[in-house]
A and B are shown apart, each in its own frame.
Chain A
Amino acid sequence: MSMLEAAHEHDIELEGKDDSADFLLIFLRACEGSLACSTCHVIVMDVDYYNKLEDPTDEENDMLDLAFGLTETSRLGCQVIASPELDGMRLAIPSATRNFAVDGYVPKPH
């Protein structure tokens, strides 16, 4: 089961600043896990956990190309499969509102 499905099924809300809590569950699953969007983009907070994940496929990388606020440890939530060795992994969501409000800078996917 992917992180996206786990959060959705168990009615878990990701808490954070702004409204990012509800984002992943309600807003950010436009293609419902079919690798046709990048709205479930998550950032793996600890590089050790990032390295435990299987490399993204070309198809996932194609979608990550377009993700808002891409980082070196970005993945698509729908492709991160839950497993015991990932226990304790922390995921974050790029906060769009803060970037716009601070200085108008719009980060380009790199």
Chain B
Amino acid sequence: MTAMAIFRSRTWLSRSFSSLSSHPLRVCVVGSGPAGMYTAEKMLKAHQGAEVDIIDRLPTPFGLVRSGVAPDHPETKIVTNQFSRVAQNDRCSFFGNVTLGSSISLSELRNLYDVVVLAYGAESDRALGIPGEDLSGIYSAREFVWWYNGHPDCRNLSPDLKNTDTAVILGQGNVALDVARILLRPTEELATTDIACHALAALEQSSIRKVYLVGRRGPAQAACTAKELREILGTKKVQIHIKEEDLHKSPEDEEELKNSRIRKRVYELLSKAATTGPSLPSSGQRELHFVFFRKPDSFSESAEYPGHVSGVHLEKTVLKGVGSGKQIAVGSGQFEDIECGMVLKSVGYKSVPVPSLPFDHKNGVVPNAGGRVMSDTSGDPELIEQGLYVCGWLKRGPTGIIGTNLHCAEETVASISHDLEHGLIASPSTSTKPGREGLLQLLDDRNVRAVPFSGWEKIDCEERKLGSLKGKPRVKLGSWEDLLKVAV
């Protein structure tokens, strides 16, 4: 499994599968988040004759690194330095403000490029499918995160943080912890981050003092990871509430924990927090409650505020083993309610298909084999879509961290390289695909104003300038208009 490593002085290794041809391998990557950028980086490196174009529907690159990573986690955003170097490579061009499905179709893209890699992630949400889900005051965590991160599509979300003292978050993954932390952190601490100004203003006026993180299963199954849990348990002026009886471990739980270092360390943190919990509530303190073994059954509507949520009706669960060490939550028929004026659903993102793209609706991903897009979900190896690949959440589902995409991109690029070598993709020397020139012509014909990487650099410069006036690393330009105005 491991490669032996010996320190030596550098010798340059050059690899090319198209060294005989002066016609470059034309590659288009759709999406400039971690999956797209790692793919572009590896394609440029593995194929010295490749020209890589990266398109993104936003004028700004970097996907969730910009719009998902919490404002109080700036170290996690450092990876954009590496991604910038990729975009600045001579053989790479970034085209922002270009949307697959409206600016250009998938078929058109496949006609322009030898290789197309779809890495556009998951911009929708899993639905709970329970009564009351449409009430106002109920948002997906994705929307809320985009709102506080200044994403132009959510600038008008205007969540009402003043009508209630309680927010319920469904889910206990890292995204759930992020939104809980942003709701509970002293706003003075948020003021010096790149949090969107409209969000900071709303949080400063927020009356929310209690946040519930509700999971269907127990502490041994909580989906968050140690770093994030450790951080939220240490939030200033927040009392942590965890019921000791929830920490009881069954033999199946013990087995699960034994097999997973991540789960074991998370369980230990929760266990420690429960036993050193607050003995008396002290006034003025905010509260964070970890609620286990509860699944949402329905949402209640407020009498005073019609159309708005007033509570979550929860069913108690018990765990049932379903083989291979996995346990699922099953309803017990007993119910209880938590009153609240806001609900954030953090139960998973979902990818969005585009016309003529094979899609597995059950799993919310594009059917693929090692990143090669399959024509359907049958698994028949004959049904490969030539020249079409996927990477990132669109390929694997919405799980993992930024670094997970490194390995994901490696697999996809290995498939592409293999296919090139074996003539399964048209060889660049015989290909007539116009690539970048064709894309530029098409966009021009349609009056689509693509934003080059230098346009993003102007946005970046402006945001940092605005930030320096306010003691923040940047002030994000929050509207499509402002972004496009500055970019061109």
Kindly list chain B residues whose C-beta atoms are within 8 Å of the C-beta of A53: none
Kindly list chain B residues whose C-beta atoms are within 8 Å of the C-beta of A110: 259-261
Interface size on A, residues (CB 8 A): 54
Q: A94-B2, A109-B262 are contacts. A14–B227 as well, Cβ < 8 Å?
A: no
Cα of A110 to Cα of B82 in the assembled complex, Å: 28
Cα of A93 to Cα of B1 in the assembled complex, Å: 9
| Closest chain B CB from A91 CB (angstroms) | 6
Kindly list chain B residues whose C-beta atoms are within 8 Å of the C-beta of A18: 3
Say whether B425 faces chain A, with CB atoms less than 8 Å apart.
no
Nearest residue in B to A30 (C-beta to C-beta)?
B79
Nearest residue in B to A69 (C-beta to C-beta)?
B1
Q: Number of contacts between A and B (CB, 8 Å)? A: 135
Kindly list chain B residues whose C-beta atoms are within 8 Å of the C-beta of A86: none
Instruction: Report whether A62 and B227 are in contact in the complex, using a CB–CB cutoff of 8 Å.
Output: yes
Instruction: Report whether A58 and B81 are in contact in the complex, using a CB–CB cutoff of 8 Å.
Output: no
Instruction: Report whether B5 and A91 are in contact in the complex, using a CB–CB cutoff of 8 Å.
Output: yes
Instruction: Report whether B4 and A90 are in contact in the complex, using a CB–CB cutoff of 8 Å.
Output: yes
Instruction: Report whether A27 and B41 are in contact in the complex, using a CB–CB cutoff of 8 Å.
Output: yes
Interface residues of B in 362-378 (CB under 8 A from A): 370
Contact of B261 among A11, A13, A32, A70 (CB under 8 A): A70
Say whether B470 faces chain A, with CB atoms less than 8 Å apart.
no
Q: A30-B402, A66-B262 are contacts. A15–B76 as well, Cβ < 8 Å?
A: no
Instruction: Report whether B8 and A12 are in contact in the complex, using a CB–CB cutoff of 8 Å.
Output: yes
| Closest chain B CB from A9 CB (angstroms) | 12
Cα of A41 to Cα of B362 in the assembled complex, Å: 35
Contact of A36 among B10, B78, B230, B411 (CB under 8 A): B78
Say whether A38 faces chain B, with CB atoms less than 8 Å apart.
yes
Instruction: Report whether A65 and B9 are in contact in the complex, using a CB–CB cutoff of 8 Å.
Output: no
Instruction: Report whether A61 and B226 are in contact in the complex, using a CB–CB cutoff of 8 Å.
Output: yes
Cα of A59 to Cα of B225 in the assembled complex, Å: 12
Say whether A48 faces chain B, with CB atoms less than 8 Å apart.
no
Instruction: Report whether B260 and A108 are in contact in the complex, using a CB–CB cutoff of 8 Å.
Output: yes
Contact of B45 among A19, A34, A62 (CB under 8 A): A19
Say whether B130 faces chain A, with CB atoms less than 8 Å apart.
no
Instruction: Report whether B9 and A37 are in contact in the complex, using a CB–CB cutoff of 8 Å.
Output: no
Interface residues of A in 2-28 (CB under 8 A from B): 7, 11-22, 27-28
Mask of A94-108 contacts with B, CB within 8 angstroms, 1/0? 111111110010011
| Closest chain B CB from A30 CB (angstroms) | 4
Instruction: Report whether A20 and B9 are in contact in the complex, using a CB–CB cutoff of 8 Å.
Output: no
| Closest chain B CB from A61 CB (angstroms) | 7
Cα of A58 to Cα of B411 in the assembled complex, Å: 31
Instruction: Report whether A99 and B1 are in contact in the complex, using a CB–CB cutoff of 8 Å.
Output: yes
Cα of A31 to Cα of B34 in the assembled complex, Å: 13
Say whether B303 faces chain A, with CB atoms less than 8 Å apart.
no
Cα of A58 to Cα of B229 in the assembled complex, Å: 12
Kindly list chain A residues whose C-beta atoms are within 8 Å of the C-beta of B75: 31, 34-36
Nearest residue in B to A62 (C-beta to C-beta)?
B227
Interface residues of B in 307-349 (CB under 8 A from A): none
Q: A17-B3, A93-B2 are contacts. A62–B411 as well, Cβ < 8 Å?
A: no
Kindly list chain B residues whose C-beta atoms are within 8 Å of the C-beta of A96: 406-407, 410-411
Q: A11-B9, A22-B45, A62-B230 are contacts. A109–B3 as well, Cβ < 8 Å?
A: no
Cα of A96 to Cα of B41 in the assembled complex, Å: 16
Say whether B265 faces chain A, with CB atoms less than 8 Å apart.
yes
| Closest chain B CB from A7 CB (angstroms) | 8
Mask of A56-93 contacts with B, CB within 8 angstroms, 1/0? 00110111011011100000000000000000001111
Kindly list chain A residues whose C-beta atoms are within 8 Å of the C-beta of B1: 69, 94-95, 98-99, 107
Cα of A27 to Cα of B81 in the assembled complex, Å: 11
Say whether B13 faces chain A, with CB atoms less than 8 Å apart.
yes
Sorted nearest first, the 3 A-B pairs with minimum C-beta distance are: A16-B3, A62-B227, A36-B75
A11-B10, A68-B406 provided; 13 other pairs, C-beta below 8 A? A12-B7, A17-B4, A18-B3, A27-B41, A30-B79, A34-B75, A35-B75, A65-B265, A68-B403, A93-B5, A95-B1, A100-B414, A110-B259
Residues of B in contact with A (beta carbons under 8 Å apart): 1-11, 13, 38, 41, 45-46, 73, 75-76, 78-79, 81-82, 225-227, 230, 259-262, 265, 370, 401-404, 406-407, 410-411, 414
Residues of A in contact with B (beta carbons under 8 Å apart): 7, 11-22, 27-32, 34-39, 43, 45, 58-59, 61-63, 65-66, 68-70, 90-101, 104, 107-110
12 contacts between A and B (CB under 8 A): A7-B7, A14-B5, A31-B75, A31-B78, A61-B265, A65-B225, A68-B403, A90-B5, A91-B5, A92-B4, A92-B5, A108-B260
